[in-house]
Amino acid sequence: MRWFNRHSSFCHYIHTSTFSTANLKPNHQINTDRLTDQTTTLQNVVSWNRTISKCLRNSQIIKAQSLFDKMPVKDIVSYNTILSGLNQSKNPEKVCQVFLEMERAGLKPNEYTLSIILSAVLNTELKVLVPQIHARIICLALNASVFVGSALMKAYANAGDGVGLSKAFYEILNKDVTSWNALVSGYMELGCMHEAQKTFDTMPEKDVVSWTTLVNGYIRNKRIKKARSIFNKITGKNVISWTVMISGYVQSERFVDALKLFVLMVKSDTMPNKFTYSSVLDACAGCCSLLVGQQVHSSIMKFGIPEDVILSTSLVDMYAKCGDIDAAFYVFESMQRKNLASWNSMIGGYGRHGLGKRALEEFERMKKMGVKPDEVTFVNLLSACGHGGLVEEGEKHFDSMETKHGIQAEAEHYACMVDLYGRAGQLDKAEKLIKEMPFEGDVVIWGALLGGCGLHSNMKLGELAAEGISRLERHHPAVYSMLTKIHGENGAWNIVVKLRKMLNEKRVRKQKAGSWVESPFLEM
């Protein structure tokens, strides 16, 4: 019976489509038309897509988006292209929104789509969705893909899920060196150095990225010496390997080591890039080496490194921290594009130089340009007021933080205000502020109070501040030297002798201080 039916319908099919001379001509005609129609639409979509991705390459995201909205027909590549653009301009909410629009339009996501989605949820609250995205990936049978797999691994590592990380790895069908590197990197991000090292040792093949990943992992886990010893073993070091190690030294505040390594890098004929230069300038700023900073600046100009916001901000910061505020301002003014960090750096620089009024002027100019201040801006601004003796201005801006700008005052801001009152000799106001704080005082806040007491030889509050610090951190060097100073000035010599004795017994060392005069000199 079944055979018969099938046969009969087959006959019917043959009869109507193939053997009916009457229907052949018009059918054929219509099919060709539809085919031509589809071909032109397809070509159209591809050319639209090409135009949109060209816009994105020139970072014209607005233009790309309006083109995307105008498209008569969108395919999966159109969506992937715009999703990738939105992802690059750090707009994860919009990525998810467009992704849902795509789903509603009935288009099925592919490997590209999911790689982008996974990259978008990194470092956002949306990363809790990673296991759900993983489930979706499995339903679409994309979990065996090397691309989706490594994107998934990175997402799991970012979400702090080690089990998810290894699961995603083992689901990849043909693991390549990139997949293995993602595993090493993921374990390192989770702080599992042993697992990472074991993975590295058992990898079927290693490239320079594998080595750099390992070095970077040890740096992230504060094992700088271990990182250096592995770095030394890399045979084909490239710019990134060098930069990772240099920036590692900067992160652990070993600025001179960073500069020495930079010299070795230049000697090894590896061309630094903007990442390298940023790190090196940070090292110069860290050890107040204006001379090396100037040399690095010249080198950036000489090699024609393209204009970059982060690089220029590093320059501004380097000059400001090395004492050349005019050069800092010159670089700052020459910047084509400035962002919040650039403004913060300039305002901080003026503050450090005691130019409170200039800091306030820049703050006003920044707001006029439409740049919204953040918590860092206020730390710099309040400390500028403190260093410039602008008590009333400081108070005004401290109060405006929450009311005008919706920024909650944190410990650092309170520390700035305590410092401001302390310097101005208004220690009663400083004490009052500490008592009114919505949280417990930290070392910085008590330290600021202690500094003010030292400046104005206030024994009673100074003891209170010293107690505050000692509760949190025993034998802090600043406490001893400051108390010694205060009591000395008040003529309480018996206490001074006692403190000096304690200082020696506990082997408390005075803190190191930097100077613009004795900055390190490096032969290039």
Stretch 436-475 residues interacting with DNA (CB under 7 A): none
User: Cβ-count burial of 166 within 10 angstroms (0-12 exposed, 13-18 middle, 19+ buried)?
Assistant: middle
User: Cβ-count burial of 388 within 10 angstroms (0-12 exposed, 13-18 middle, 19+ buried)?
Assistant: buried
For residue 524, the Cα-to-chain-centroid distance in whole angstroms is: 30
Task: Output the smallest distance, CB 115 to DNA, in A.
Answer: 4
289 binds DNA (CB under 7 A): no
* DSSP state letters, 359-413: HHHHHHHHHHTTPPP-HHHHHHHHHHHHHHT-HHHHHHHHHHHHHHH-----HHH
| Count of CB atoms situated within 10 Å of the CB of 197 | 18
Token reading at 438: 């919505």
Judged by CB under 7 A, which stretch of 291-299, 372-380, 390-398, 432-440 contacts DNA? 372-380
- Total residues found in the chain within this entry: 524
- Nearer to DNA by C-beta: 146 or 492? 146
The residues in 296-355 that bind DNA, with binding defined as CB under 7 A, are 308-311, 313-314, 317, 339-342, 344-345, 348
CA pair distance 239, 223, nearest whole angstrom:
21
Tell me which of 7, 50, 396, 404 binds DNA, using CB under 7 A: 50
Token reading at 327: 């050069």
The residues in 211-250 that bind DNA, with binding defined as CB under 7 A, are 212-213, 216, 238-241, 243-244, 247, 250
Judged by CB under 7 A, which stretch of 31-39, 209-217, 254-262, 328-336 contacts DNA? 209-217
Judged by CB under 7 A, which stretch of 258-266, 267-275, 353-361, 515-523 contacts DNA? 267-275
DSSP 79: H
Task: Output the smallest distance, CB 345 to DNA, in A.
Answer: 4
Tell me which of 63, 89, 91, 111 binds DNA, using CB under 7 A: 111
Task: Output the smallest distance, CB 359 to DNA, in A.
Answer: 12
Q: Which of 58, 44, 136 is nearest to 96 (CA)?
A: 136
- Nearer to DNA by C-beta: 209 or 449? 209
Binding track over 139-168 against DNA, x by CB under 7 A: ------xxxxxxx--x--------------
Tell me which of 78, 199, 289, 484 binds DNA, using CB under 7 A: 78
- Nearer to DNA by C-beta: 318 or 466? 318
80 binds DNA (CB under 7 A): yes
The residues in 185-204 that bind DNA, with binding defined as CB under 7 A, are 185
107 binds DNA (CB under 7 A): no
Tell me which of 143, 197, 199, 377 binds DNA, using CB under 7 A: 377
Which one-letter amino acid corresponds to residue 271? M
User: Cβ-count burial of 498 within 10 angstroms (0-12 exposed, 13-18 middle, 19+ buried)?
Assistant: middle
Task: Output the smallest distance, CB 504 to DNA, in A.
Answer: 36
CA pair distance 311, 276, nearest whole angstrom:
9
